[in-house]
Amino acid sequence: MNPVKVVLAKPGLDGHDQGAKVVARALMDAGFEVIYTGLRQTPEAIARISQDEDPDVIALSSMAGSHVPICRKLKPLLEQAGLSDKLWIIGGNLPERDHAELRSLGFKGIFPSSSRLDDIVNFIRANAS
Amino acid sequence: MKQDLPKEMRPAVALRPVVNESGIEIKPVYAAADVVASGGDAMIGLPGEYPFTRGIHPYMYRKQPFTMRQYTGFGNAADTNKRFHYLIANGQTGLNVAFDLPTQCGLDSDDPLAEGEVGRVGMAVDTLKDFEIAFDGVDLERITVSLTVNGAAAILIAMYLAMAQKRGYDVSKLRGTAQNDILKEFIGRGTWVYPVEPSIRLVGDTIEYCAKYAPKYSPVSVCGYHIRESGADPAQEMAYAFAIAKAYADEVIRRGLPVDEFAGRLSYNFNCFGGIFEQVAKFRAARSLWAKIMKEQYGAKKPGSMWVRMIAGGGGGGLTFEQPELNIVRGAYYALICALAGTQTMALCCYDEAYTIPSEYAQRISLRTMQMLIEEMGLSDTVDPLGGSYYIETLTNQMRSRMEAIMAEVDAQGGIVKLVADGVIQAKVSAQAYRRQRDIEEGRFRKVGVNCYRTEDKTPEMEFHPYKEEDGRAQCQALARIRAERDAEKVRATLARVEADARSGVNLMPAIMEAVKAYASVGEITKVLVGVFGRYREPVRF
């Protein structure tokens, strides 16, 4: 069986990547294959990388508050790229009041600050096809 | 001085070993012999005297308490101006300006990449006009201003100096600070624009320009802070910061500027979360180490060239999302650490920081915490109150040795510029951050409210910083108006000079000054420079 493949992206201009890198290591330790995009990815770039890599999971990390507008832009792009059946998840500084909208935009896993690494790993194991 | 612990003080039972974050084993009791064994008292000295372990000034806070300068800025320049006046009215003695991410990354507010981010995490700046509005009514002689900007620092320093000139200030007397530490942006924080080499050139240009025209202005604040946030331990924080400071010094010295003409204006920004005594020893050790480096390696003669002048009080990595009200208490300890350590300026983190841009209420609590140390707690009564403690002096010696060893390792591996360009430091600190996160989640590294003493009580309601998308549109409209009203020919000519100077290699600051005075925008100037320098490509290594 191939390992679970994750594209982990840092969308927008936010440069806080400590969390994303920590999560990337945790996913690799769990045996997943991780493609980390680096900083400042546009929604278009994230859709393109995801299309090229064909991952099981598309994960975003956002710390600077622009997660809702970014996810609004990303949703149609991922759909057009035929990636609707992938597991979309997001982590970072995500106030509770935004969770419903993120869910309605197709993000099944929402991991705000203070989420445990094992919970992220287990969620992916349980939900990625 | 030679004495070991009397028998009755030696523990009869085996005690749990304690190792601090920098990897130094902590004994249950310290005595004079420990100071001797760690290198003795040669580096202690007196405050205001080489090697400045005890402080850079003889009377420190007894003469003048630390400057209180909370990190603030959001929305547009007018919103930020209001908050500035609020903080000044509440007794703040300096300003520490936050810029939004488009500004920090050298993008105009109407750039497609800026959409949704204009004014979100700081003040939006497109042209000199924004600076004129933001600092309206602020007395720039009484209130010193710090600009937290790196990739776009040369442009924003130019805007600050140009704004002050326009208001009739003598720039040669103007004080203030810019963060402008691009090497650490490649390690953490991430607001780089150009590749490593031209980025260092721009830092060199600002130092050289300020040494000549604005000699009281601090063009660089070298940051250990973000390196620590990215996963470095306290000794690495200082060692990497000093290695970076040396890289900037070397860049300027290569241009022929004598060390004593600029080193006195280098300043520092350090983190303070962690154990109280390790942190205090870290700062004391760092002061003496930098003094030694400047004197012995650079031949500095002026005491000011050997000083570590610093801002401290930020400790985001130590604050918790869980039970956020406990961060008020953590903040008070952090403030105590920084005061015991002799910081020049304090910018204290706020309890709601793990959630949002600090509210006015949270900012006021932090400001009052700092004021309390001075007014109620006696922190300004005497200099370096922990000096002479067997523990602190031993730990100060040990932390200094540790920092020296790390700096030597950096040099042996090819120097900090190469290690940062190759992503080696980034990989090292992010591996450490991962181990620390595992240690927290598995209970080996204790965090109150996180992995012990948790509560199921509901978190108190947080006041989220409002963000209005229409503010971004208003900022774009204002920029469009300026573009329509300014002298287009002058903008074209000044931008052409920026390009020519970027290519020829002369100091870019005079050309950038001309361009900002013609109301050329941050994005326009950056685009010209990217055309010459290219863009940084991040080595994704971890």
What one-character-per-residue DSSP string does B307-373 give?
Answer: ---EEEEE-GGG--SSSTTHHHHHHHHHHHHHHHTT-SEE----TTTTTSSPPHHHHHHHHHHHHHH
- Confidence grade of residue B2 (pLDDT, cut at 50, 70, 90): very low
Partner A contacted by B437 (CB < 8 A)? yes
Partner A contacted by B121 (CB < 8 A)? yes
Q: What's the pLDDT tens digit per position in B293-338?
A: 999 999 999 999 999 999 999 999 999 999 999 999 999 999 999 9
Structure tokens at B334: 């952090």
- Taking the CA of residue B110 as centre, how many other CA atoms within 13 Å lie in the half-sphere pointing to its CB? 15
- Confidence grade of residue B285 (pLDDT, cut at 50, 70, 90): very high
- Contacts of residue B356 in chain A, CB cutoff 8 Å? 95
In contact, B355 and B459? CB cutoff 8 Å: no
How many A/B residue pairs have CB atoms within 8 Å?
Answer: 92
Q: What's the pLDDT tens digit per position in B18-54?
A: 999 999 999 999 999 999 999 999 999 999 999 999 9
Q: Using alpha carbons only, give the angle B53, B54, B59 rounded to the nearest 5 degrees.
A: 140
- Contacts of residue A11 in chain B, CB cutoff 8 Å? none
Which of A16, A22, A116 is facing B434, going by the closest CB pair? A22
Q: What's the pLDDT tens digit per position in B219-246?
A: 999 999 999 999 999 999 999 999 999 9
B434/A64 CB distance under 8 A: no
Which of A38, A40, A95 is facing B540, going by the closest CB pair? A38
pLDDT above 60 for B3: no
**pLDDT of amino acid B72:** 87
In contact, B193 and B536? CB cutoff 8 Å: yes
Q: Using alpha carbons only, give the angle B215, B221, B225 rounded to the nearest 5 degrees.
A: 170
- Confidence grade of residue B12 (pLDDT, cut at 50, 70, 90): low
**pLDDT of amino acid A68:** 95
B190/A16 CB distance under 8 A: yes
pLDDT above 70 for A129: yes
> What residue type is B28 in one-letter code?
P
Per DSSP, helices labelled H in A33-129 are 43-53, 67-80, 99-104, 117-127
A18/B188 CB distance under 8 A: yes
Q: At what angle do helices A117-127 and B424-441 cross, to 10 degrees?
A: 90
CA distance B118 to chain A (A): 10
**pLDDT of amino acid B5:** 60
Q: What's the pLDDT tens digit per position in B62-89?
A: 999 999 988 888 899 999 999 999 989 9
pLDDT above 90 for B1: no
Burial classification of residue A50, based on how many CB atoms lie within 10 Å of its CB (0-12 exposed, 13-18 middle, 19 or more buried): buried
- Contacts of residue B540 in chain A, CB cutoff 8 Å? 36-38
Burial classification of residue B41, based on how many CB atoms lie within 10 Å of its CB (0-12 exposed, 13-18 middle, 19 or more buried): middle
**pLDDT of amino acid A96:** 93
Which of B105, B190, B437 is facing A117, going by the closest CB pair? B437
Q: What's the pLDDT tens digit per position in B489-500?
A: 999 999 999 999
Task: Report the length, in residues, of chain A.
Answer: 129
Quote the percentage of chain B above a pLDDT of 70. 97
Which of B120, B189, B354 is facing A66, going by the closest CB pair? B120
Give chain A's contact residues with B (Cβ, < 8 Å). Answer: 12-18, 21-22, 24-26, 36-40, 42, 64-66, 69-70, 93, 95, 97, 112-114, 116-118
pLDDT above 70 for A1: yes
Q: What's the pLDDT tens digit per position in A27-84?
A: 999 999 999 999 999 999 999 999 999 999 999 999 999 999 999 999 999 999 999 9
Residue among B99, B108, B115, B192 with most chain A CBs within 10 A, to mutate:
B115
Which of A12, A13, A113 is facing B354, going by the closest CB pair? A113
Give the Å distances, CA to CA, from B305 to B204, B282, B298: 17, 20, 10
Average pLDDT, chain B: 95
- Contacts of residue B354 in chain A, CB cutoff 8 Å? 93, 113-114
Query: What ipTM was predicted for this assembly?
Result: 0.96
CA–CA separation, B353 vs B355, rounded Å? 5
Burial classification of residue B362, based on how many CB atoms lie within 10 Å of its CB (0-12 exposed, 13-18 middle, 19 or more buried): buried
- Contacts of residue B102 in chain A, CB cutoff 8 Å? 13
Partner A contacted by B190 (CB < 8 A)? yes
Q: What's the pLDDT tens digit per position in B395-429?
A: 999 999 999 999 999 999 999 999 999 999 999 99
Global pTM value: 0.96
pLDDT above 60 for B120: yes
**pLDDT of amino acid B4:** 60
Partner A contacted by B323 (CB < 8 A)? no
Partner A contacted by B499 (CB < 8 A)? no
